[in-house]
Structures are given as C-alpha cells and as structure tokens.
Amino acid sequence: MAPHSRPLQLARFRATFICLVVLACARSWSSQDKPSEREPVKESGAPQSKEIRFRGRIVCLAEEMQRLYKAQLPAPHEHLYGFKTDDGKFYTLLRTRTSEAFFSDARLHKLELIVQGRILPNTQILDAIPVGSIHDGKVYDLYYWCTVCAIRTPIPGECMCCQQPVEFVEKPLDN
C-alpha cells in the first residue's frame, strides 16, 4: 500500500461515517411523530423519554447500511453497534456502564434479544440494557453472576464487590 493512500482511506471512512449519520438523522426527521403524539415535555422544556422494551438483534449499523443502501465502507472499519428491532427500525446504542455488555460480550450479538431502556428524545439513540433472549419461542433471563458474592448484575467483567470475574447466565423463564 502506498504511503499516501492511508490518509485517503481515512478521509473516505470519515465521509462514509458522516453520510451514515446524515441518513440516520434524515430518517429520524422524516418519521417524526405528529406534535400531539410526541414525548411529554418537562416544565424546563426538555422532552422526557419513556421506558420501552424492544425485541431484536445487535447489528453493526455501518454494515447494515452497506447491505441495505450500498453505503461504501472501507475494508477494515470500526463497528458502530446498534439495535435492529423486529419491525425493522434501527437505533444507535449508547455506550454506558449498564449497556457495556452490548459492546464487550460477543455472545449477545448472536442472540435474538429483549432489551429495556429508553430512546433519548429527538434522537434515534437507544439507552438500553439486555434483559432477555429468545430461543425457539422460549424467553430466557440474561444477566451476569458472581458466585463468590451472589451478586446479579447486567454488567460483564469483574464483580463490583470482590473483583472476581462474573459469569454470563442465560436462564429459561418458567412462563
């Protein structure tokens, strides 16, 4: 690879990323609810978000945009994780302490998930945590468990108490 082609690849990647963001915003703007159906507004004027539950899958939004709309991606690209709902809507996942599992646990990328959270007002950004998975029509509870401290958490990694690794648990629900 010629030394001058790396900056060109970065410029193309940036341009592609900007196009994806603009497309996502345009889709959001074009599908805005009627004023009477919008989220409730606090007295301060800032819209409030509602708690929601979605069913769907973790996807790389860039790859989905390439597949659906032929967006040009550089060969190696960073994943921009999002959630695709069963009805085909895409949301960008907000990376927070409680949503870290979406980004760091590849097992979740292979599952049909139930997530709980909120769509941030005036955006297509989803602040969510995984709460369940679905296999063969049966719902499973998802969490991480510390066997030493008997602590359940939605956060992978180390136990907040003893600092030992927590275990991924996918337990069938009775109903």
Is 15 strand, coil or helix? helix
| Matching residue, tokens 């709309």 | 69
Each residue's pLDDT, cut to its tens digit, for the chain (175 residues) gives: 555 555 545 545 454 444 444 344 434 433 443 333 344 445 566 788 889 999 999 999 999 999 999 999 998 999 999 999 999 999 999 999 999 999 999 999 999 999 999 999 999 999 999 999 999 999 999 999 999 999 999 999 999 999 999 999 999 998 6
* pTM reported for the whole predicted model: 0.71
Q: What is the CA 114 to chain-centroid distance, rounded?
A: 11
Closest to 23 in 3D by CA, of 74, 56, 70: 70
DSSP 8-state secondary structure symbol assigned to residue 156 = -
Class of residue 58 by CB neighbours under 10 A (exposed 0-12, middle 13-18, buried 19+): buried
State the pairing for strand pair 90-93/125-135: parallel
| Domain boundaries of the chain, sorted by first residue | 5-30+51-138
